[in-house]
Amino acid sequence: MRVLAIETSCDETSVAVIADGVALANVVSTQIKMHAEYGGVVPELATREHARNLLPVAREALRQAGLAAENIDAVAATQGPGLPNALLIGFHAGQSFALSIEKPFIGIHHHEAHLYSPWIRGTPPRAEFEAFEPNISLIVSGGHTLLVHVKGEQQHSVLGGTIDDAAGECFDKTAKLLGLPYPGGPHLDRLAAKGNPATHSFPRPMMHDAGDDFSYSGLKTSVRYFLQNHPEILNDAGKVADLCASVQAAIVEPLVHKLIRAAKRTGVKCVTASGGVTCNSGLRRALEEGCRRNRLQLRLAEPKLCTDNAAMIGILAERKLLRGAAETTVSAEIYPSWDL
Ligand code: KG4
Ligand code: ZN
């Protein structure tokens, strides 16, 4: 089966072509530079950029895959959650394309696709569903922080999520306080690598409570007060590195602690992680150490598949269609629930 998949939920315009679990093409056009000027994603600009870029990105994906429109057997697009108008650009383009080639169309839940991205590997990216294990999955991005129990393929229940800011948002907001460019996560990560995480002890809210939720808004406030009291730190590269390392540890530790605790509680033998924050070197290292100590299998999405991409949408869509999923109707909601 050959699936053309579209992802336009936030600030990445992406089109992939999937054939039998392999991404023949996965073209991603990022809008990061445009939004950086405003210090965050501007929904209206994101929508316009998707409208401008979707056709060239789709043509490039078909070219890379060496296929023509009539060779496509099914079309998929991210249905939600995401920026409503941005989603509609990709969703309606996908429906129209499916109509024109008289092939089925399926809408895909963005988070469900993230859950399966750790099971895609290599060049070209290939789905490894044969290796699938029930797992606890962490989805950490600029918009989401979710802990999900994946009991079987396409069987999941959300255990917890952030009650305020997402982990990526916390990286970006604390980085902004340090004067780093948007998105600050990767910059903070780079500086943290040169610092000592034990220098400052920032709060880890909710880390030891009984639930599976997270809270990140307090950390940003602590960093703001800390900088108000110690503005001189910003003039010392070594002290900035120590501060970054300490902030990063305060973001990463609750994620790793709750992920591993949920795995032990539910008895799964595997944990996975995806979403932009999974690129963070401190998180990757802490997960590797935690899983080794607790004898858990760890599957991290490859960095290029951590961030939003259409390959994860298309691979899940193909899997669903092969398992007999019904076509998504025109009346489908753009904010699908987990029960869809
Ligand atoms: O998944 P993603 O590309 O987009 C959504 O938010 O949906 O994630 C972007 C987020 C941003 O907050 C960015 O700062 C963060 O992922 N991020 C990182 C790193 N790379 C990306 N955060 C910490 N360390 C990184 N290396
Ligand atoms: Zn995402």
User: Could you report the per-residue pLDDT of 49-96, keeping only the tens digit for each?
Assistant: 999 999 999 999 999 999 999 999 999 999 989 999 999 999 999 999
Cα(284) to centroid of ligand 1, in Å? 13
Ligand 1 pocket mutation, candidates 279, 300, 312, criterion most atoms within 8 A of CB: 279
Residue 221 in any domain: the answer is yes
Chain-centroid distance, C-alpha 83:
14
Q: How many domains does the chain have?
A: 2
Are 138 and 271 in a shared domain?
yes
Q: Tell me, what's the pLDDT at 340?
A: 30
Residue 330 lies in a domain: no
Assess whether 225 and 278 both reside in one domain: yes
pLDDT at 87: 94
Please tell me whether residues 212 and 82 are part of one structural domain: no
Least confident of 6-10, 37-41, 85-89, 250-254: 37-41
Q: Is residue 331 part of a domain?
A: no
What CATH number is given to the structural domain containing 92? Answer: 3.30.420.40
Q: Judge if 286 and 153 occupy the same domain.
A: yes
3-state secondary structure of 140: strand
Q: Is 216 in the pocket of ligand 1 (CB under 6 A)?
A: no
Q: Is the pLDDT of residue 338 over 70?
A: no
Q: Could you tell me if residue 336 is inside a domain?
A: no
337 against 158, higher pLDDT: 158
Specify whether 66 is located in the same domain as 144: no
User: What count of Cα atoms within 13 Å lies in the side-chain half-sphere of residue 332?
Assistant: 25
Q: How far is the CA of 301 from the centre of ligand 1 (A)?
A: 13
- Check residue 327 and give its pLDDT: 81
Whether residue 282 sits in one domain with residue 221: yes
Give the CA distances from residue 34 to residues 79, 139, 143, 180, 183, in Å, rounded to whole numbers and listed in that order: 24, 25, 18, 16, 11
104 and 28 within one domain: yes
> What confidence category does residue 330 fall into, taking pLDDT thresholds of 50, 70 and 90?
low
Does ligand 1 come within 6 angstroms of the Cβ of 280? yes
Residue written as tokens 């290292």? 285
Residue 308 in contact with ligand 1 by CB distance below 6 A? yes
104 and 174 co-located in one domain = no
CB distance 105 to 74 below 8 Å: yes
pLDDT, tens only, 114-126: 999 999 999 999 9
Q: Kindly state whether residues 216 and 242 are assigned to the same domain.
A: yes
* pLDDT tens for each residue of 167-189: 999 999 999 999 999 999 999 99
Range of the domain at 259: 133-301
- Same-domain check for residues 234 and 141: yes
- Tell me the average pLDDT of the chain: 94
